[in-house]
Structure 1
Amino acid sequence: MALVTDILEWLQALPQPALVGATGALVFAECTIGLGFIAPGESGLLVAATTANTAPRFLILWAVVAVCATLGDSLGYAIGRKFGPRLRETKLIQKYGTDAWDKATDVLHRRGAWAVFFARFLPVIRTLTPAAAGTSGLEFRKFLPAAAAGAVSWSLLHISLGAAMGEAAKRIEGVMNTGGLIVVGVLVAVAVFFLLRWKKKKAMGKLEERPTEPSKAE
């Protein structure tokens, strides 16, 4: 039974507007403060990207996801601008992201718009940075270009990975039986799990780094 091929073919058979629209909605939700803890935007994007096997599909998905990510970040920024530091005291932030919020705010104060760009690639921090940017007083004219550049780069990277995964899965399934494919699938799932844990741990470690303060004369 060609399980993986059947799933990919089913996804590819979906109306393109529906698949792209659902993916864009997930990404938009993930980029908006709070929803990023429950909306699997990155995972949904990788799955949808397995169907980006033609140039038009790839480009359309890329454009929609980049725009939705930028809009989600902008909404998060507006929320931070409106409610300010009070956001840190909300139940959601207290439950899921107090440390991440503090680190995002600290990096924003030290790095400005560059923090917005690089936060796009960091789990959890990605969800909180736009609102933290609005709270920190970073000007929108500086925030928007950084957010858009991050969204374009992030979406290109993940769509490329997803498209490559889709093609690789088809090729592997073409030379393996179902039992062997299941074993490979389990191993890949385990590898992805530990890769994401390592990526998150490394990202949080980098955010914990502080620049060395110059010594002051006594």
Structure 2
Amino acid sequence: MVTDLLDWLRSLPQAGLLAAAGLLVFGECTLGLGFIAPGETALLILGTTVTGAPSFLLMWSVTTVSAVAGDTVGYLLGRRFGPRLRRTKAVRRYGADAWDRATSVLRRRGALAVLFAIFLPVLRTLLPAAAGASGLPPRGFLPAVIVGASAWCALHISLGFAAGTAVRELEDAVGFGGWLVLGLIVVVTVIVVLVKRRRAGRGAKG
């Protein structure tokens, strides 16, 4: 079941996995691509393919470089187009209020905002461009991006590795029957919650 999927992922060529991880992370961190490139999800899933320190370091290095490159592209777009980016279709997808929030955080925190923005989904995509548009110098932007991207990638790859290990141990312990019972419990719980919500909605209308 789940371990079969994890084993299949591990059987794929490492170069392909690294390329996929790098592209998805780059897209997640580049202005306008966050919706179609689930970088965090990719890191968690691909983190399950890590087998030891060498493979962890390799994936961490590739994804960190990709994240820094994506943020740098956003920053350069901000430097090039300035506040006009607020009116672009890419920014309007997130909402002008999200751009305003990014610039507000940037004004208050400066390079520190860039350091932590990568951990926040919307700010991760918008804040590098906002930093470029606001005139934040590269000497303040790049060190913060490198540290933040390194920590973000290491965190999610580690979580993926830990989750993959836990799933293998759990499946070995409970077997197929245990997973079937667990699945039935989840399904019943979802049905009960939905029924309660529907009844509550009808009661509110009445």
Q: Cα deviation per residue 1:36-88 (whole Å; 9 max; x = unaligned)?
A: 12211110110000111211111100111111000100011001111111111
Higher percent of residues as helix: 2
Q: Could you say what secondary structure the match of 2:121 adopts?
A: coil
- Residues 62/136 of structure 1: CA separation in 2 closer, same or farther (3 Å cut): same
Give the TM-score, by structure 2 length.
Answer: 0.86
Q: Which stretches in structure 2 are left out of the alignment for 5+ residues? A: 190-206
Cα distance in 1 for residues equivalent to 2:58 and 2:86? 36
Cα distance in 2 for residues equivalent to 1:44 and 1:182? 27
Aligned to 2:197: none
Correspondence for 1:155 among 135, 153, 156: 153
Correspondence for 1:66 among 56, 60, 64: 64
Give me the identity figure in percent: 58
Correspondence for 2:104 among 76, 88, 106: 106
Correspondence for 1:140 among 126, 138, 141: 138
**1:125 alignment partner AA:** L
Runs of 4+ off more than 6 Å: none
Q: Which stretches in structure 1 are left out of the alignment for 5+ residues? A: 191-218
* CA shift for structure 1 position 184: 4.6
Cα distance in 1 for residues equivalent to 2:166 and 2:180? 15
CA contact (8 A) 1:117 1:149 kept: yes
- Residues 183/116 of structure 1: CA separation in 2 closer, same or farther (3 Å cut): farther
How many residue pairs match? The answer is 186
- Residues 32/182 of structure 1: CA separation in 2 closer, same or farther (3 Å cut): farther
Give the TM-score, by structure 1 length.
Answer: 0.81
Q: Could you say what secondary structure the match of 1:180 adopts?
A: helix
Aligned to 1:23: 21
Cα distance in 2 for residues equivalent to 1:117 and 1:91? 26
Cα distance in 1 for residues equivalent to 2:182 and 2:114? 37
Which deviates more from structure 2 when the two are superposed, residues 9-18 or residues 175-184?
A: 175-184
Cα distance in 1 for residues equivalent to 2:117 and 2:181? 35
- Residues 65/141 of structure 1: CA separation in 2 closer, same or farther (3 Å cut): same
**1:143 alignment partner AA:** F
CA RMSD of aligned residues (A): 1.7
CA contact (8 A) 1:37 1:124 kept: no
* CA shift for structure 1 position 183: 5.8
CA contact (8 A) 1:113 1:143 kept: yes
